Amino acid sequence: MQHDIIYDVLIVGGGNAGLCAALTAREAGASVLVVEAAPKHSRGGNSRHVRNLRCMHDAPEGVLLDSYSFSEYWEDLQQVTGGNTNEELARLTLQESGECFRWMMKQGVRFQPALSGTLQLSRTNAFFLGGGKAMLNSYYHKAERIGIDIEYDTAVTELTIEDGKFHSAMVSHQRQTIQIKAKALVVAAGGYQANIEWLRESWGDAADNFIIRGTPYDDGKILKMLMNTGAKTVGDPAQCHAIAVDARSPKFDGGIVTRVDCVSLGIVVNRDAVRFYDEGEDFWPKRYAIWGRLIAQQPGQIAYSIIDSKSEGLYLPPLTAPVTATSISELATKLNLDPIVLEKTIVAYNVAVKAGDFNHTVLDNCQTQDLTPAKSHWARRLDTPPFFAYPLRPGITFTYLGVTVNNKARMIMQNGEPADNIYAAGEIMAGNILGKGYLAGIGMTIGTTFGRIAGKEAAHSVIG
């Protein structure tokens, strides 16, 4: 690692946003160093786990079918955020999204048509062939080809920032602490969802039972450093995006396979063996994101999705085989639930189920009557053994708290002035656009848009 030279641009974080910034800055002529906290095999932060990019297009383009207009995209964003978005930055992101798609292809990223299980997104989202890690590989190969310096296993331990001006960074690299000087800094180091201590500030002991779906390297240390040097924050620190995942998943980095897709087909009970929410409120892809929070609010942050053999084959195969039993009481025993209460819950549910035409591909008319909470769709009696159960826990995808930026990706200080030479991109600033909720693939759009802007602006500020 060369530490006697002064780089034009130092980029902290080697995920999608960081690499977009690095490639853009390098192509503008700047000398670039990327420091990535993870070792090479785990490089790329949460981008390793992503799958697609949401982009507007007025006509079919490549793998993107039909059209997805700016106004439709805008409405989708308004709906999920409830208006909790910086309009200027959101418009910029959406407008740039089509160009992001084309630019990615120019960098060597390959796309594929949407296939099984993701068809509902084939119009709005472009899927990376092989997923996020393959996308990152393409970026890294390009980065190496055009002479970007990359250091893995290199975590920033200190940022020297005075009055919004970045001077140098201390990094730990092969058990040494090294000072790195650069004329501009791009922070693309993700959120803090892997920092359980920090999550405890908002969630208390419940945070200990959260599963972190993505990288263990998103510890929020960079975000904290920026906050401590006067950066203006954005986003609610008490909020995070969490879905229901299999409780038997790894603590970190389980990614996509930890999802459980059968919730809407059966019932969900908590540790007390009672139901607590309408499992059939809407299609699962529209509801999975509220279930993380729902389970986080249950005692012990655990719940159990229970189905019977009628639902076999109707949902995407899960990572881990379900807990299986030939009777409800046996199932309860295996799950450590009170058998009497669980039987009572299921009898009450079964009695409340009205006859209907079951069809899990539409919002059907199978619902419960006089049951609280109700099940509005896909309600069928749990009466055909074997019975199956999946234990569920909240699985955190990302946090919303970040640093404020302007339309040049420049970080804003608490006094409202832009920082002199500090830029931010990706999850660390996504809260500017996504104040609440989530829209599949928009994290990639924000990261790519602001990564490219940050790289371009940082390079131009240094070399004119």
Partner 1 sequence: MSLDNQSPEEVLSEGERVMNICNACRYCEGFCAVFPAMEKRLQFGSGDIRYLANLCHDCNECYYACQYAPPHEFQINVPKALSAVRQQSYKVYGWPGIMVSINANPIYTLIMSVIVIPLLFLLAGVLTKGMGGLTTAYGDEQGAFYQLVSHSMMAWGFGMVGIFIIIAMIVGWFKFRNDTDPPDKLMWPDVKQAMLDAITLRYLGSDGDGCTYPDERHSTLRRSFHHFTFYGFMLCFAATSVATLYHYLFGWIAPYPFLSLPVILGTLGGIGLIIGPIGLLYLKRVRDVEPTEPVQTKMDITLLVLLLTISVTGLLLLFLRETAAMGIILLVHLGLVMGLFLTMPYGKFVHGLYRFGALIRFAKEERES
Q: Choose which of 41, 174, 204, 372 interacts with partner 1 (CB under 8 A).
A: 41
Q: Of the ranges 292-300, 311-319, 358-366, 411-419, which one interacts with partner 1 (CB under 8 A)?
A: 311-319
Task: Please report, as residue ranges, which positions from 409 to 448 form the binding site for partner 1 (by CB under 8 A).
Answer: none
Q: Of the ranges 113-121, 168-176, 286-294, 408-416, which one interacts with partner 1 (CB under 8 A)?
A: 113-121
Contact 398, 427 (CB under 8 A): yes
- Check residue 116 for interaction with partner 1 (CB under 8 A): yes
Strand, helix or coil for residue 236: coil
Task: Please report, as residue ranges, which positions from 356 to 415 form the binding site for partner 1 (by CB under 8 A).
Answer: none
Strand, helix or coil for residue 431: helix
Closest to partner 1 by CB, 145 or 175: 145
In whole angstroms, how close is the CB of 113 to partner 1 at the nearest point? 8
Closest to partner 1 by CB, 134 or 374: 134
Contact 233, 403 (CB under 8 A): yes
In whole angstroms, how close is the CB of 373 to partner 1 at the nearest point? 29
Cα–Cα distance, 161 to 230 (Å, whole number) = 9
Contact 435, 84 (CB under 8 A): yes
- Check residue 127 for interaction with partner 1 (CB under 8 A): yes
In whole angstroms, how close is the CB of 281 to partner 1 at the nearest point? 24
- Check residue 62 for interaction with partner 1 (CB under 8 A): no
Q: Of the ranges 25-33, 77-85, 290-298, 313-321, which one interacts with partner 1 (CB under 8 A)?
A: 313-321
- Check residue 322 for interaction with partner 1 (CB under 8 A): no
In whole angstroms, how close is the CB of 397 to partner 1 at the nearest point? 14
- Check residue 316 for interaction with partner 1 (CB under 8 A): yes
Half-sphere exposure of 230 (CA within 13 A, CB side): 17
Using only C-alpha atoms, what is the Rg of the chain?
24
Place of tokens 């439709």: 72
| Residues 329-359: b if buried by 16+ CB within 10 A, e if exposed | ebbbeebebbbeebbebbeebeebbeeeebe
Q: For the chain, what's the residue count?
A: 464
- Check residue 113 for interaction with partner 1 (CB under 8 A): yes
Cα–Cα distance, 156 to 226 (Å, whole number) = 12
In whole angstroms, how close is the CB of 105 to partner 1 at the nearest point? 13
Cα–Cα distance, 348 to 346 (Å, whole number) = 5
Q: Of the ranges 24-32, 249-257, 302-310, 381-389, which one interacts with partner 1 (CB under 8 A)?
A: 249-257
Backbone angles phi, psi at 144, to 5 degrees: -65, -40
Closest CA to 447 of 464, 429, 463, 432: 429
Q: Which two tokens stand for residue 270?
A: 């908590």
In whole angstroms, how close is the CB of 364 to partner 1 at the nearest point? 23
- Check residue 5 for interaction with partner 1 (CB under 8 A): no
- Check residue 157 for interaction with partner 1 (CB under 8 A): no
In sequence order, the β-bridge partners of residue 32 are: 9
- Check residue 117 for interaction with partner 1 (CB under 8 A): yes
Q: Of the ranges 283-291, 314-322, 406-414, 454-462, which one interacts with partner 1 (CB under 8 A)?
A: 314-322
Q: Choose which of 132, 266, 437, 443 interacts with partner 1 (CB under 8 A).
A: 132
In whole angstroms, how close is the CB of 120 to partner 1 at the nearest point? 15
In whole angstroms, how close is the CB of 310 to partner 1 at the nearest point? 15
Q: Choose which of 84, 107, 122, 137 interacts with partner 1 (CB under 8 A).
A: 137
Contact 135, 447 (CB under 8 A): no
Cα–Cα distance, 432 to 435 (Å, whole number) = 6
In whole angstroms, how close is the CB of 262 to partner 1 at the nearest point? 12
In whole angstroms, how close is the CB of 449 to partner 1 at the nearest point? 23
Name, in order, each residue with C-beta under 8 angstroms of 147's C-beta and a sequence gap of 6 or more.
26
Name, in order, each residue with C-beta under 8 angstroms of 60's C-beta and a sequence gap of 6 or more.
66, 67
Count of residues of this chain found to bind partner 1 when the rule CB under 8 A is applied: 31
Q: Choose which of 141, 165, 224, 354 interacts with partner 1 (CB under 8 A).
A: 141
Q: How far from the centroid of its chain's Cα atoms is residue 280's Cα? A: 24
Closest to partner 1 by CB, 150 or 159: 150
Per-residue binder mask for partner 1 (CB under 8 A), 251-280, x = binder: --x-xxx-x---------------------
Neighbours of 281 (CB within 10 A): 17
Angle formed by the axes of helices 16-27 and 132-145, nearest 10°: 20
Which residues lie near partner 1 (CB under 8 A)?
41-42, 48-49, 51, 110, 112-113, 115-117, 127, 129-134, 137, 141, 250, 253, 255-257, 259, 313, 316-319
